């Protein structure tokens, strides 16, 4: 049996038995980057269907690589619990590393929200960004050996997003450098449950936004004693959750 953990992972749009023409990005990754040759076995995966298959490269042309697919199965490496990241929309490329790290750290949904201090772009620009974030998530899934990607929504209104959490039974954390409670203390003895994380923009949430978050059950916590950039804070808190899941819910 081939060890799938050692195979090159290639994201594809649709999986079906038989021959498959790989797209330009997949062809470049296999032929130009890894110098794969005919006969090489790879793991192809479909992030939308959360399926995967072992495939054999039959044509290793730099212009168009072709592989044949064995039996298709459900992806073996998927997040086990719902983890929602509600992230204030950020200017420029600030959201890019957030999407990358959130994908690698098992976030199941990323909700981008507008706040009083968000730097919003035009609807056309946001559509373009959503497509770019999806591509970033796919590449992060390939690297981290994840079988799917988060559902990326946005840009949502702040109140609309919090209202959409009605009925959510997991933990609700609001990340704040000024919080009295440390996340580490709150997580001691905490079971691995669903969770929703709320992270603000540069400058933080304003007072009405904070009050609304408290009203719907978010509890303010800090990670360390430093004021972190938004993208750094996300990675820090998701790393803490990954450590918790590994302790109470090992693979």
Query: Are 37 and 101 members of one domain?
Result: no
Average of per-residue pLDDT values in the chain: 87
Residue from 84, 131, 67 nearest 234 by CA: 84
Asked if residue 56 has pLDDT above 50, the reply is yes
Query: Are 227 and 121 members of one domain?
Result: yes
pLDDT tens-digit map of 139-177: 999 999 999 999 999 788 999 999 999 889 888 999 887
Q: Where are the beta strands (DSSP E) in 75-194?
A: 83-88, 109-114, 151-157, 171-175
Determine the Cα–Cα distance for residues 239 and 228; give it in Å rounded to an integer: 14
Q: Name 232's Cβ contacts closer than 8 Å, sequence gap at least 6.
A: none
pLDDT tens-digit map of 123-141: 677 788 889 999 999 999 9
Q: Model-level pTM? A: 0.87
Structural domain of residue 110, as residue ranges?
Answer: 83-248
Q: What is the CA radius of gyration of the chain?
A: 20
| Site of tokens 């044509």 | 59
| Site of tokens 């933990």 | 171
Which DSSP helix (H) or strand (E) runs through 67?
strand 65-69
User: What band does 208 get if pLDDT is binned at 50, 70 and 90?
Assistant: very high
Query: Are 93 and 190 members of one domain?
Result: yes
Query: Are 44 and 122 members of one domain?
Result: no
- Number of structural domains (the chain) is 2
The CATH number of residue 14's host domain is 2.40.240.20
State how far Cα 129 lies from the chain centre: 15
């Amino acid at each position: 049996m081939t060890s799938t953990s050692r195979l090159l992972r290639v994201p594809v749009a649709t999986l079906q038995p038989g021959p498959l023409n790989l797209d330009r990005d997949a062809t470049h990754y296999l032929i130009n980057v890894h110098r794969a040759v005919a006969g090489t076995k790879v793991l192809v995966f479909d992030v939308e269907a959360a399926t995967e298959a072992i495939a054999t490269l039959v044509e290793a042309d730099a212009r168009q690589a072709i592989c044949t697919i064995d039996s298709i199965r459900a992806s073996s490496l998927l997040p086990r619990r719902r983890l929602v990241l509600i992230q204030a929309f950020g200017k420029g490329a600030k959201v890019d590393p957030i999407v990358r790290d959130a994908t690698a750290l098992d976030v199941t949904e990323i909700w981008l929200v507008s706040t009083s201090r968000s730097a919003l772009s035009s609807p056309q620009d946001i559509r373009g960004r959503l497509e770019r974030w999806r591509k970033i998530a796919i590449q992060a899934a390939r690297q981290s050996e994840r079988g799917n990607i988060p559902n990326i929504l946005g840009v949502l209104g702040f109140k609309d997003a919090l209202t959409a959490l009605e009925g959510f039974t997991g933990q609700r954390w609001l990340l704040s450098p000024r919080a009295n409670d440390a996340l580490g203390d709150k997580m001691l003895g905490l079971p691995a449950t669903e969770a929703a994380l709320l992270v603000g923009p540069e400058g933080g949430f304003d007072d009405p936004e904070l009050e609304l978050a408290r009203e719907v059950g978010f509890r303010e916590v800090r990670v360390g004693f430093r004021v972190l950039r938004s993208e750094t804070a996300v990675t820090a808190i998701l790393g803490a959750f990954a450590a918790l899941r590994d302790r109470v819910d090992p693979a």
